[in-house]
Chains A and B, each alone.
Chain A
Amino acid sequence: MNEPVIIARHLSHTYQSGPLRKAALIDVDLEIARGSCAAIIGVTGSGKTTLVQHFNGLLRPTSGSIVVDGIDVGASGADLKALRQRVGMLFQFPEAQLFARTVYEDVAFGPRRMGLDRRAVRSRVIAALETVGLPKREYGSRSPFDLSGGQQRRIALAGVLAMQPSILVLDEPTVGLDADGREEFYSYLWRARKERSITIILVSHDMTEVAALADTLFVMHSGRLVMQGTPRQIFAEGDQLRKWGLAVPPLSELLLLLRRRGAAIPATAFTLDEAFEALQNSGRISKTT
């Protein structure tokens, strides 16, 4: 694939508050290819949030190194301001961070803080709002609080896109949205990815979503990176994932069950089409006992 945009080597992070120490990340080695879509999965407390907060310098490593888009996050004197422009981050329920009086003002916050002149800010805001399907001439002067939850979330996305990051990290981007809302959000996200060649990093609990969208999956457990690979590879290991507290997409679960009952379904079968083909080809499935 492409050259890696994020490289972590022996990355570790330990929280220290008074006498309490917590090793949140232990010896993580990973590489994320530029332009790809990577997903990081793990239960709460597995370290996935701590990991992604290193990508934009919100956290610095306590040992090991992590280089993001050429910037060594752990180095003293690292230009964290430049890093935050290149790595956009959308937290859970991002609509909760909207605060300006108009949609335009909120989206313009990021570019303005980058020190751009008024014309540059304006063109960026217009472009970002266009990308998320809320064009400026219709929505620019409205109050963000008048819009629906899904629209507000897209405004928050536009606010981050307006900074023109090369990497976008999203933490549970579709939690609380229904099927339509989810599809809508991803359609705009993918549009942004294509238009601007952004590397996307997802942190998600939704395995179906992750299975459909991610090129690479990183599985975290107790602060360590325990598995990485394509969704196809990872979700074939249902039992192991369950030990780590994770579910697999329902279809993978079904295929696992069938395989256990003796069906001749190749382990590589993963999508709906492949499952259909495999079952058609195998004909009836005979019970083993």
Chain B
Amino acid sequence: MMLRNIALGVYYPGNSLLHRLQARTKLLLLFCVIVWLILASHNLWHFAPYIAVVALICVSAIISGIALRYLARRMSILIALAIISVLSGLFRLPEPGDRLLATIGPLVTTYSLVHTIALTGGAALLAFVLSSLLPLPLLRALWRRGWLRGIRVLMVAAVLALLIFLWLTAGEAPAQRFTLGPLIMTYQNVWLQITVFVALLALYALSLLLTMTTTAVALIEGLTMLLSPLRRLKLPVDDFALMALIALRFIPTLIEEIEQLFKAQSARGADLMSGTIRERFQSLVGLFVPLMQGVLRRASELATALEARGYEVEGRQTMLHETVLRAPDYVALAIVVCLIVGTLLL
């Protein structure tokens, strides 16, 4: 019951301009924006393209009736990751010819100090992690917090990292100088980080808009039509489209089947969560083998049924969802092309 409600893609039915554009128009536009952003990153401190992209996203969202707040919420994890990556990427070794913006001076200490810190810190972390195994009620209560259990792995990793650091630097004399840094910020690097940040988020937002305003089937057809020149290279474009369609069609059905299998094997005592490794493995086999059997049987029956409907592996298929390009498609393409050319040449 729970699995059935997994949203398959995020199509939001609607009748906005964005919904009415053909799938291949939208795919082409996405491709254009990618090229645009790549080209724009070479023009240092030229913010025009990026402002235009962001404006385009906002306008598209408004037109399609999707709240910007909703978009932002779906992107929240990505935004957080992007910020972390940008902050850590700000300080890199400079390329020749870069202009320095700022330098955070190097930290100079001795190895003995560093080793002491590493040893004490590592020991403290290790002790803390090991305390999770002790049966004392106070500690049990502390470790019941979910987030603490979550970062336990990180703490173990940190301990291991410190151990490796100590092992690698064991040979250094205690009085030897240990330099940390300096941290250098260059203009070029800052520009790079800004462009990467905006590009990453912009592309994600645009692809979200794409999948929210286009049905999966239309996307597959659009992609097939765009890839059709590859047919001349004898690539199985139509087969690929059919495979994707069948996969889409059977996902809900297979989910139901898995649920049913899970219940049936659970009723016999199969349990993935408890028991010895061997028992849990058996339980997994009890889910996997019948599922595979079922899938293969379905494939065989489906193939027979399609054969009986006269399916043959040749010829062009009529598209059921993609029709001709109309005025809105051409207008959208024209607008974006003008924006691209305009902001790149300015």
| Chain A residues within CB distance 8 Å of chain B | 15, 17-18, 20, 53, 56, 58, 81, 84-85, 88-89, 91-92, 94, 96-99, 109-110, 113-114, 145, 159-160, 163
Contact = CB atoms under 8 A, between A and B. Distances in A.
Nearest to A94: B264
A145 B264 contact: no
A56 B267 contact: yes
Contacts of B1: 15, 17
Most buried by A among B260, B261, B269: B269
B18 to A, nearest CB: 25
Given A97-B264, A110-B268, 13 more contacts: A17-B1, A81-B269, A84-B266, A84-B269, A85-B269, A89-B263, A91-B267, A96-B257, A98-B290, A99-B288, A110-B269, A145-B293, A159-B268
Interface stretch (B162-170, B278-286, B300-308): B278-286
A228 to B, nearest CB: 25
A58 B269 CA distance: 11
A160 B279 CA distance: 18
Contacts of B5: 17-18, 20
B268 A109 contact: yes
A143 to B, nearest CB: 12
B283 to A, nearest CB: 8
Nearest to A111: B269
Interface string B1-20: 11001000000000000000
A113 B288 CA distance: 18
Contact of B294 (A53, A56, A88, A96): A96
Nearest to A89: B267
B265 interface: yes
Interface residues of B, number: 25
A92 B259 CA distance: 13
Given A96-B293, A97-B290, A99-B289, A17 B265 contact: no
Contact of B263 (A91, A96, A113): A91
Contacts of B265: 97
Contact of B266 (A58, A92, A160): A58
A58 B268 contact: no
30 contacts: A17-B1, A18-B5, A20-B5, A56-B267, A58-B263, A81-B269, A84-B266, A84-B268, A85-B269, A89-B264, A91-B260, A91-B263, A91-B264, A94-B264, A96-B257, A96-B261, A96-B290, A97-B264, A97-B286, A99-B286, A99-B290, A99-B293, A109-B269, A109-B270, A109-B286, A113-B270, A113-B271, A113-B275, A113-B279, A114-B269
B151 to A, nearest CB: 29
Given A17-B5, A98-B290, A99-B289, A58 B267 contact: yes
A42 B76 CA distance: 46
A279 B260 CA distance: 47
Nearest to B271: A113
Contacts of B290: 96-99
A53 B263 contact: yes
A99 B292 CA distance: 10
A160 B263 contact: no
B267 A109 contact: no
Contacts of A20: 5
